[in-house]
A and B are shown apart, each in its own frame.
Chain A
Amino acid sequence: MSNEGVIYRISGPVVTAIGMNAAMYDVVRVGHEGLMGEVIELHGEKAVIQVYEDTSGIRPGEPVLNTEETLSVSLGPGLLTQIYDGIQRPLASLEEVMGVFITRGVDADAFDMEKTWTFEPQVAKGDELVSGQVFGHVQETETIIHKIMVPPGKGGKVKSIESGDFNNTQTVCVLEDGTELQMMQKWPVRSPRPFTQKYAPDTPLVTGMRILDFLFPLAKGGAAGIPGPFGSGKTVTQQSLAKYSDAQLVVYIGCGERGNEMTEVLDEFPHLIDPNTGKPLMNRTVMIANTSNMPVAAREASVYTGITIAEYFRDMGYDVALMADSTSRWAEAMREISSRLEEMPGEEGYPAYLSSRIAEFYERAGRVETLNGDDGSVTVIGAVSPPGGDISEPVSQGTLRIVKVFWGLDAGLARQRHFPAINWLNSYSLYPQSLDQWFRDNIAQDFPEIRTQISGLLQIEAELQEIVQLVGSDALPVDQQLTLEVARMIREFFLQQNGFDPVDAYCDIKLQYEMAKAILSFQEAAKTAMADGALLNDVVNVPARSNLMRGRFEEGYIERIEAMVKEMNEQIADAVEAN
């Protein structure tokens, strides 16, 4: 048998070839047009292939060529600011070749192989290099140094090393055993990249979103799931995270979503400034866009392409955040392929291996000691689109079993225009215990206690609301009415955040703490004043309180908030005398 066979059968994106020597996950070229595909099943001498492009017009008898490589991504300088499809073809290059519609049979390099980068060696002749070690630097964008690493599995003594301008395919370092190293390396997308060991996460991924950082924090190297019905703001939340989280690099995967949404990101990101570095956001971003109408097999591959790129930057010692929007579309791609393979289905037609695939994907998140001895992390945030918003379905359940943070989006809140529409009663984070030390050391000693008080108030509110539904709020005793007012303040002043407001969109974590304290301070002052005879209505309506609440839309709030709280408390105290 040779590496060339012929097509036996075509059924949508699944093609069967015969007479070809093939191994699982080999990349093949299908038909006269050379469409890219991947071997996903072997039956005797038949190889079943999923094809990453449209197969109409292809006939049995056309040739299939096995490249004998597995589906890999190219990793090297030039990755940042790129926009790829699911199999790492740059969309800009595709436009050049094909025009505005994506046709098929076109190959494109992941980045310009001719472009030169300034390579600065970090080791000298005679140094011993080990697998994964950094041996050179390239200043790829203003903010990111691209560290050039020995590909895993290679190593040895440096015979010669260059310095200066090179492109990705030129040799920059030769080892004693004759191994030539280039800046670019390849890695198969379905295999996790190696590392020395995994650490327990201990630092939060600061997102600037109050409800997330304060109530349901995510650790760097952790994994979070965001399920929500349509229209509840999954994509807006994911995009906010891509914009404002304090990861050094962001990989954004638009997996089976709307074309116009990706366009919006593409239009917007180059103009946005990273609040953590002051430089354009695009400088730290790699984007993968495989929209819902692009080939389904490439959609299946897109999350692996994305996470492999994320791991590569992790190996340089960076904190990387990966957003996958939406993992449900990825799961549906698996379901579609599985059904073409006529596999025995599990729940709701999804393949029986769905949950293990989901688990494997999220397990590629983590904070690690890299082969180079640095500390790097990949944080994964996956959106889930449960049918009808019902999270008892297999993708949501498979995700919840593995992630430690659950940000539950709620259609009801979205309908009330409460954004971000994350339900504070059913969301959770299992990280506070490992992160509390960080909050104590870096923000305030009593940070965890303040958080407990705030979430406690929200819990009490939920119980009181049940009574209010029946009898009206006037029937409650005044102290409970005050609790309701305080909870309302938490919701409207603290949990609601305007992602489109230039100031409010990003809230520093120190400011979050101050705002939470301001709410508790209001509660305290109001309680005291009311014990001395002040009326709830007067206390609630002091002008300084609405100033305090409005202040969050203005620059420099963090400097003024203390004075504003003081003024509010004085006015509340005055309310006693007014009565």
Chain B
Amino acid sequence: MTGKEYRTITDVKGPLVFLNKTEPVAFGEIVTLRLSNGEIKNGQVLDTSDDLVIVQVFEGTAKINRDTGVTFMGDVFKLPVSTDLVGRILDGAGRPRDGGPEIVADEKADIIGAAINPYSRQSPHDFIQTGISAIDCCTTLVRGQKLPIFSASGLPHNDIALQIARQAKLKDSDEEFIVVFCAMGITAEEYNFFRSDLERTGALENAVLFVNLADDPAVERIITPRLALTAAEYLAFEKDYHVLVIYTDMTNYCDALRQIGAAREEVPGRRGYPGYMYTDLAMLYERAGIVKGKKGSITQFPILTMPGDDITHPIPDLSGYITEGQIVISRELHQQGIYPPINVLPSLSRLMGSCIGEKTTRDDHKKVSDQMYAAYAQGRELRGLVAIVGEDALNERDKQLLDFSGVFEDQFLRQSRDEDRTIDETLDLCWQLMANIDTKYLVRLDEELIKKYHPENRA
């Protein structure tokens, strides 16, 4: 069906081109547009009928006029996939960006991706050790989970994501992850930071990068994560790799979605974002997981920056309803000079319960994590009280908890960017810090564990 070129453009509006009187065009079909100066642009059909076809142009609509030729390619958007993808850098539309050859396809995969049958899923249960104490102890990551980083501008979420990508492994195993990295609208500087870090550590050989930068067309961002996830699915479910997908920044993705919605004059939902944003995000996030009968897995680390540090903003809010927890980065901790500035209190890993304990991490993990959390939460609360009544008004227990909250931040949270703590080291550190509190106040730990692990009893 390829071949015939139409010159029937009637309207151009934002990223959208309207044509009439064409052949029957499929919904979702890929389109090429040839400009009068010879430039080629690509697009996709958003709405199709006998009279009118709406095309969304990925590269922006600059220079498009009524003389632009439009050809329908007869197929929906597909990504050529093969293991040759590993080690490559592609642009936001899947073309080589590293000067290398085109990808030789083993097959072509539809980038929309089909939903995994919930009946065919396998519950994630393998503990991933990230080497970051705050994550391993308090918001444990599980293979096959989707755990976003809720950050904000000016915070070191990229460092954390990279550290995780570098250090993530199964306990007592050298099995490495293939990293699929997907950049949406980040700056060239950020991208260079990612790339040089991956190069420096040799991780680039085991990675696939899809890159759409801030000055690349915004609409292209709609397909970039879909390409990345299609590559990830191929590597995980056809080639048995364990894949870690990092995408940054979801906020730019959602803004591109809003831009298209506005151009189509759709009825907006909250803050101008389209009403279908929940479904749209779910179609990305839900592509994480493990399925029965396949060896590989997809673990997702989306990074999003909360506009105005507001966790109730539609982007983090809808994400939180879909993902299996969240890691929240705190500006306050960052300003205190603590890295990684993870605020464990609003952070959560919903799948944590399935992967910790005697068989996988250590028998004391659950209770230690609860106790650390509880003591820190109380200590933090007391800071507020101290500001009003002064430290002298506190009783002994409260004083210890208040001091603990400082130690927690300074010694438990704080670690260097290349410090890779094993889960045993993390849990031992917890015990060491909790030893500053009288055992009688450690109500979430039972006597057996105290006997076994408390530094007093181990010495």
Contact = CB atoms under 8 A, between A and B. Distances in A.
Interface of A: 8-12, 16, 54-62, 83, 91-92, 94-95, 98-103, 229-231, 254, 256, 258-260, 262-264, 266-267, 289, 291-294, 296, 329, 332-333, 335-336, 338-339, 342, 345, 348-350, 385, 387-390, 415-417, 472, 500
Given A55-B27, A332-B278, A415-B377, A385 B321 contact: yes
A388 B114 contact: no
20 contacts: A10-B27, A10-B49, A58-B27, A60-B24, A83-B119, A100-B293, A100-B294, A101-B115, A101-B116, A102-B114, A102-B117, A230-B321, A260-B121, A292-B322, A293-B286, A387-B314, A388-B312, A389-B312, A415-B345, A417-B370
A333 B294 CA distance: 32
Contact of A230 (B237, B279, B317): B317
A264 B123 contact: yes
B123 A56 contact: no
Interface string B175-188: 00000000000000
Given A101-B114, A415-B346, 17 more contacts: A9-B47, A10-B49, A83-B118, A92-B119, A100-B120, A230-B317, A254-B118, A260-B351, A291-B286, A296-B279, A329-B278, A345-B267, A350-B275, A387-B270, A387-B312, A387-B314, A390-B312
Contact of B320 (A230, A292, A339, A345): A230
Interface string B341-372: 00001101011010000000000000000100
Contacts of A342: 267
Contact of B123 (A16, A267, A293): A267
B269 A262 contact: no
Interface string B274-306: 111011001100110101111000000000000
A8 B49 contact: yes
Interface of B: 24-29, 46-50, 75-76, 110, 112-124, 144-145, 237, 266-270, 274-276, 278-279, 282-283, 286-287, 289, 291-294, 311-314, 317-318, 320-322, 324-326, 345-346, 348, 350-351, 353, 370, 373-374, 377, 385, 389, 393
Contacts of A91: 117-120
A416 B377 contact: yes
B48 A60 contact: yes
A325 to B, nearest CB: 11
B29 A16 contact: no
A12 B54 CA distance: 12
Contact of A258 (B75, B110, B324, B373): B324
Given A260-B289, A292-B322, A56 B27 contact: yes
Nearest to B394: A472
Given A266-B118, A289-B118, A231 B312 contact: no
Given A101-B116, A339-B266, A417-B374, A258 B121 contact: no
Q: What DSSP secondary structure best describes chain B's contact surface?
A: mixed
Contacts of B112: 54, 56
A258 B322 contact: yes
Given A54-B112, A61-B24, A417-B370, A349 B389 contact: no
A83 B270 CA distance: 34
Of the listed residues A10, A59, A100, A415, the one surrounded by the most CB atoms of chain B closer than 10 A to its CB is A100
Of the listed residues A260, A263, A293, the one surrounded by the most CB atoms of chain B closer than 10 A to its CB is A260
Contacts of B292: 100
Contact of B118 (A229, A291, A333, A385): A291
B117 A95 contact: yes
Nearest to A101: B114
Contacts of B317: 230, 387-388
A259 to B, nearest CB: 5
B181 to A, nearest CB: 22
Contacts of A289: 118-119
B10 to A, nearest CB: 16
A256 B116 contact: no
Contacts of B113: 101
A98 B26 contact: no
Given A55-B27, A100-B117, A259 B286 contact: yes
B61 to A, nearest CB: 20
Contacts of B237: 100
Contacts of A100: 116-117, 120-121, 237, 291-294
Contacts of A339: 266-267, 274-276
Given A92-B119, A388-B317, A500-B353, A336 B276 contact: yes
B27 A256 contact: no
A266 B122 CA distance: 10
Nearest to B28: A56
A57 B111 CA distance: 13
A294 B286 CA distance: 10
Contact of B115 (A10, A293, A388): A293
A472 B275 CA distance: 47
A95 B293 CA distance: 12
A240 to B, nearest CB: 15
